[in-house]
Structure 1
């Protein structure tokens, strides 16, 4: 059965196509179309299964009802979870989400931002590489609606939804110290991100608060593009050479692989080495032993990012809210306290 058009409805009801268009685009009241006429149009459209031409509707309203989501790696469980939440929230509010991954490449991120703009998305949610200062500044100066998630640009005031990175790691290290661990290693990722730097600051702060001397030999930076090999080397150095009795991992995927390496090398967790992860994967409770983690509210992060973005889109104002989400410890057997 052929779908009807706005023109078909206009002819059938002896109305102008413009009037029908106003009503079907929810502008009947604005254009002073009588309630009776609006009801007639909507009833006829419903009875005859009218389906709007989304492209034409977008052009008419100056909106695409699409938002772009740019993340470093959609296969990473954290980014996958937050992407699902953003998609669910946006869909509920009438928006579709277009996804793309950058692989932490600022060049690719720049191209994706331009590609999203070419597709006429109404706004962007970006987990940035923090190396695209010029592109982010252009969005800001052009009053284009966007939200930065998880990371930020210190010298650009934008909508930001981030985490208590420093305090989260401080609480993890202090937990291990309170459980009797005195020689604690820290494994982080070799990315020049403020969030990663803040996690290292949190590690140092915890040692200072417990009167433990900071030792650079037990802080290991794992190569982002070669995680498996560089993590293995770092772990063996910490356990065999430095004789650490605890390790805090700056990301959940480092913790997962780290636990596997410890088990593979017959190093007992938590008896010999206690571990805590910043961030959590759904399978952490199924690990042997279950992993202690610094948790953060992914659902709330996703919802807040969408709310901020749609507020900017709908009200046509670029706001600059900086929202920091609190973290909390989820204590399991891997930290040695249970």
Structure 2
């Protein structure tokens, strides 16, 4: 069936496009369009299965009814899960979400922000590289609705939704210490991002609370882009040294996943030879043998909080207060830590 446009309805009924648009947007009465004309337009639209142009419809209301979402990588299970929650909640409120991945590239992130603005999105949700302060300052100056999540700029007054990375890592490290594990290694990323820096701090403070000195050789920082190549070297260094660790804290779920593969390759038994814990988790962590102890991030709460804050900013007629949000994590204890030594 041929697609019908506003101009087709207007031409066939000998009325203006403006009149057709007003009637189909329920504004016929307030613009004093006769009931007869309104009825003819509505019946014609139904008969010909007229589908409104959502972008044009939104712009006529001063909105595009779309939200831009910029994340580091949609293939990362954490971001894909949060994105799913955001998309569902946005749809419930009549908004469409446009997805893009920055791949941790600050230049690409800046380009995506500009591209989203050019597409006239009503608001932005950004898991930032934390290297685009210029773009963040521009959004603030223009009073454009946006919310940061997972990462934020500590020196910028913005809306954001993050989890307590510090306390989550401190608790998981303290759990190992309470089990009698004292030679605890940490495999993490280079601490360029605030969440990673907070996890390192939580690990160190947990050791300090047990009067155990943090050992430089037990902390291995990996380049994000090369983690697949570097993880085997990192695990081997902690396990096969003259002073091997008796536990390893992995600062991300994908480091933990690859680390487990290395341990299996080295024939290291978990938790007999070494206890394993992870910040964040994969769905398989509760079914592998042994199941992996993990800090679990509140995916649904993160997504819901982000959408609630952003839509309040988009739809409110008054200036909204800045709303920084820090959510609690949950420690899921499983068999990978072993029993009390």
Q: Determine if the TM-score, normalized by the shorter chain, exceeds 0.5.
A: yes
Instruction: Name the CA shift for 1:191/1:37 in 2 (closer, same or farther; >3 Å).
Output: farther
Structure 2 Cα separation of the partners of residues 145 and 17 of structure 1: 32
Kindly tell me: are residues 3 and 102 of structure 1, through their superposed partners in 2, closer, same or farther at Cα, counting changes over 3 Å? closer
Deviates most, 52-61 or 28-37: 28-37
Q: Does the 8 A contact of 1:280 with 1:295 survive in 2?
A: yes
Q: Hey, what's the Cα distance between the residues in 1 that align with 2:35 and 2:304? A: 35
Aligned to 1:321: 323
TM-score by length of 2: 0.90
Give the superposition deviation at 1:71. 0.8
Aligned counterpart, 1:113: 113
Q: How does 1:26-65 map to 2 (within 5 A)?
A: 26-27=26-27, 45-65=45-65
Distance 1:308-1:44 versus aligned 2 partners, 3 A rule: farther
Distance in 2 of aligned mates of 1:187 and 1:281: 17
C-alpha spacing 1:65/1:200, structure 2 compared with 1 (3 Å): same
Moved more, 159-168 or 17-26: 17-26
SS in 1 for 2:240: helix
SS at the partner of 1:52? Answer: coil
User: What SS class does the counterpart of residue 282 from structure 2 fall into?
Assistant: coil
Find the residue that maps to 1:283 and give its secondary structure: helix
1:272 deviates by: 1.0
The 3 A distance-change label for structure 1 pair 35 and 322 is farther
Aligned length: 338
1:211-226 alignment runs, 5 A limit: 211-226=211-226
How much has 1:25 moved relative to structure 2? 2.7
Residue 251 (structure 1) aligned with residue 252 (structure 2) = yes
Q: What is aligned with 2:127?
A: 127
**1:32 CA displacement:** 7.5
SS of 1:289's partner is coil
**Secondary structure at 1:226 match in 2:** helix
Alignment CA distance shift 1:19-1:256 (3 Å): same
Aligned residue for 1:56, secondary structure, equals: helix
Question: Cα distance, 1:303 vs. partner?
Answer: 1.6
Distance across 2 between alignment mates of 1:177 and 1:273: 13
Q: Measure how far apart 1:39 and its partner are.
A: 7.8
Partner of 2:158: 158
Shift of 1:310: 1.5
Structure 1 Cα separation of the partners of residues 133 and 45 of structure 2:
48
**Preserved CA contact (<8 Å) 1:72 1:128:** yes
Matches of residues 288-327 of structure 1 in structure 2 within 5 Å?
288-315=289-316, 317=319, 319-327=321-329
Q: Structure 1 length normalisation: TM-score?
A: 0.91
In the other structure, the counterpart of 2:271 is: 270
Q: Does 1:232 align with 2:232?
A: yes
For residues 274-327 of structure 1, the C-alpha deviation after alignment (integer angstroms, 9 at most, x for no partner) is 011000111112222111100011111112111211211112545411111110
| CA RMSD in angstroms, aligned pairs only | 2.5
User: In 1, Cα distance between the equivalents of 2:35 and 2:310?
Assistant: 32
Is 1:139 paired with 2:159? Answer: no
Task: Tell me the secondary structure at the aligned position of residue 221 of structure 1.
Answer: strand
Deviates more, 1:26-35 or 1:15-24: 26-35
- Give secondary structure in 1 for the equivalent of 2:79: helix
- Unaligned 5+ residue runs, structure 2? none
Q: Contact between 1:145 and 1:318, CA under 8 Å: does it hold in 2?
A: no
Change (3 A) 1:213 1:25: same
Counterpart in the other structure of 2:189: 189
- Cα distance in structure 1, aligned partners of 2:9 and 2:271: 71
Deviations 1:198-254 (A, max 9, x none): 111111111122221121221110111110222211111111213111111111000
CA contact (8 A) 1:128 1:148 kept: yes
Going from structure 1 to structure 2, the CA distance change for 1:43 and 1:278 (only over 3 Å counts) comes to farther
